């Protein structure tokens, strides 16, 4: 009957339909838009029912640290989009990564991680996981033999982001998941930059997908949140149990914002990708620009792979200047009038960042240069403004050099 739970025929539905309708059960008020449930606890019909809920004999809401209908709707919907059995929403992207570590690792375990990951993730691994006896070895994202060489007997997790940020390198998810499984490890992929609209790591063999919902899932810079997705066993049981006990939970208000974000995810990602490809081609032809990093350009080493495992090339690019100094990069930034000078990404508003002195400012110079983040490198997270205005704004900076 119309209005019944869509789960019954979800398998037949397309991505855009799931993004708009999956995971929600209308209440007795017959509201059209999803309701928000701002409640910390729930009541029971009887003492026996309370006991049944607490023992787990009867499914249902207990307490919003681990059961909330709005949060559950977001989890169900994102799970449908990623093709995951289970999803656990968290208070931030970092809470998602921390909960995954707590749920899947123990003292003595080892992580093999791409070097090119979010800065706070490096701090989590080096300063906190290390303190509890979990060591991490870093490797180059695209060097498959380095990944294999870094795997030890106690390795449990292979961790990466693809595309990487800010150099937008592409990792081969199929090959890395085969490698992980050959050594009894789990492949954990931070899918923040692509979202399921562009890439579904679980279908390519990954075991766990992580999101910072703060970025494209919201898409309009309004709230901080995260999610972990994967099998019932790994995520529905292990990671959920961490969240239930330790409490880095998503608020129902934020879950509602992210739900609204998911409804337009595919549309926004298409528009981000179109604008970014146009900007990449324009920068590639610009006389003041030496090199553009964007997998949508045929000269990019990850072009063929991105074509294979992504539906489009993403909303992030970086570029180097002909005279590639910090002074020149800052001059370009300071001549813009429209672009936001901030390190955030995944917003309808275009942002410009100088990685060497912001996101990667605390990385030792030698290490930073080895990983390709030069003094003049600029990163653009391309938004949805008119592309002519984005180009004109950058032109102000580039023509000042
Ligand atoms: C922002 C970001 C995170 C952290 O997410 P928060 O929501 O800020 O905690 C993790 N991974 C990637 C790739 C990110 O861009």
Q: Between 38 and 11, whose confidence is greater?
A: 38
Q: In angstroms, rounded to a whole number, what is the distance separating the alpha carbons of residues 332 and 321?
A: 10
Give the pTM: 0.96
Q: What pLDDT is attached to residue 30?
A: 94
Q: How many helices (H) does the chain have, and how many strands (E)?
A: 15, 12
**Concatenated DSSP letters for 18-45?**
HHHHTT----TT--SSPPP---SB---S
**49-55: Cβ within 8 A, 24+ apart:** none
**End-to-end alpha carbon distance in the chain:** 65
Q: Which atom of ligand 1 is nearest to the CA of 95?
A: 9
Report the pLDDT averaged over residues 251-259: 98
Q: In angstroms, rounded to a whole number, what is the distance separating the alpha carbons of residues 318 and 380?
A: 6
Report the pLDDT averaged over residues 169-182: 98
Q: In angstroms, rounded to a whole number, what is the distance separating the alpha carbons of residues 375 and 358?
A: 11
Please state the separation of Cα 86 from the chain's center in Å. Answer: 17
Asked if residues 296 and 303 have their Cβ atoms less than 8 Å apart, the reply is yes
| Range in 76-80, 252-256, 299-303, 370-374 with the lowest mean pLDDT | 370-374
Could you tell me the strand order of the sheet in which 340-341 lies?
Answer: 289-293, 316-321, 378-381, 351-353, 340-341
Q: Which residues have CB under 8 Å from 267's CB, separation 6+?
A: 16
Bridge-based pairing of strands 340-341 and 110-114 is unpaired
Nearest protein Cα to ligand 1, atom 4: 93
Report the pLDDT averaged over residues 308-321: 98
Q: What pLDDT is attached to residue 3?
A: 64
Closest CA relative to residue 328, chosen from 340, 317, 339, 319: 319
Q: What pLDDT is attached to residue 325?
A: 96
Establish whether residue 300 lines the binding site of ligand 1, counting it when its CB lies within 6 angstroms of any ligand atom. no
Q: How far is the CA of 212 from the centre of ligand 1 (A)?
A: 5
Residue 353: pLDDT band by 50, 70, 90 thresholds? Answer: very high
pLDDT exceeds cutoff 80 at 5: no
pLDDT exceeds cutoff 90 at 366: no
Bridge-based pairing of strands 155-161 and 186-190 is parallel
Q: What pLDDT is attached to residue 136?
A: 98
Q: What pLDDT is attached to residue 1?
A: 63
Domains in the chain, start-ordered, CATH in brackets? 3-263 (3.40.640.10), 266-399 (3.90.1150.10)
Q: How far is the CA of 246 from the centre of ligand 1 (A)?
A: 20
Tens of pLDDT, residue by residue over 95-147, are: 999 999 999 999 999 999 999 999 999 999 999 999 999 999 999 999 999 99
Percent residues over pLDDT 90 in the chain? 93
Q: What pLDDT is attached to residue 169?
A: 98
């Amino acid at each position: 009957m119309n209005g019944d739970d869509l789960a019954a025929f979800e398998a037949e539905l397309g991505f855009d339909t799931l993004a708009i309708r999956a995971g929600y059960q209308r209440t007795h008020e017959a509201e059209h838009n999803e309701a928000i449930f701002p409640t910390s606890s729930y009541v029971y019909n009887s003492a026996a029912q309370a006991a049944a809920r607490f023992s787990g004999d009867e499914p249902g809401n207990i307490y919003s640290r681990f059961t909330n209908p709005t949060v559950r709707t977001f989890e169900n919907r994102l799970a449908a989009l990623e093709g995951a059995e289970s999803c656990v929403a968290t208070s931030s992207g970092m809470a998602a990564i921390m909960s995954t570590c707590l749920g899947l690792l123990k003292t003595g375990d080892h992580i093999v991680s791409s070097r090119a990951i979010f800065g706070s993730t490096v701090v989590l691994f080096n300063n906190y996981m290390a303190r509890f006896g979990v060591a991490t070895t870093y490797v180059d994202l695209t060097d498959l033999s380095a990944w294999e060489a870094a795997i030890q007997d106690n390795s449990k997790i292979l961790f990466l982001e693809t595309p990487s940020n800010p150099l937008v390198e592409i990792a081969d998810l199929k090959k890395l998941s085969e490698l992980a499984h050959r050594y009894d490890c789990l492949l954990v992929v931070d899918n923040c930059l692509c979202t399921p609209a562009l890439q579904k790591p679980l279908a390519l063999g990954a075991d766990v997908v992580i999101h910072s919902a703060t970025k494209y899932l919201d898409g309009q810079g309004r709230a901080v949140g995260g999610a972990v997705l994967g099998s019932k066993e790994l995520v529905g049981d292990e990671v959920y149990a961490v969240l239930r006990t330790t409490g880095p939970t998503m608020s129902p208000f934020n879950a509602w914002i992210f739900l609204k974000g998911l409804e337009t995810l595919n549309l926004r990602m298409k528009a981000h990708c179109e604008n970014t490809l146009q900007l990449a081609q324009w920068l590639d032809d610009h006389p003041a620009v030496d090199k553009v990093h964007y997998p949508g350009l045929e000269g990019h080493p990850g072009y063929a792979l991105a074509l294979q495992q992504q539906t489009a090339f993403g909303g992030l690019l970086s570029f180097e200047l002909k005279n590639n100094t910090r002074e020149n990069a800052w001059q370009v930034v300071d001549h813009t009038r429209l672009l936001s000078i901030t390190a955030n990404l995944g917003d309808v508003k275009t942002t410009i960042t100088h990685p060497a002195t912001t996101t990667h400012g605390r990385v030792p110079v030698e290490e930073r240069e080895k990983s390709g983040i030069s003094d003049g490198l600029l990163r653009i997270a391309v938004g949805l403004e008119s592309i002519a205005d984005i180009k004109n704004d950058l032109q102000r900076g580039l023509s000042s050099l």
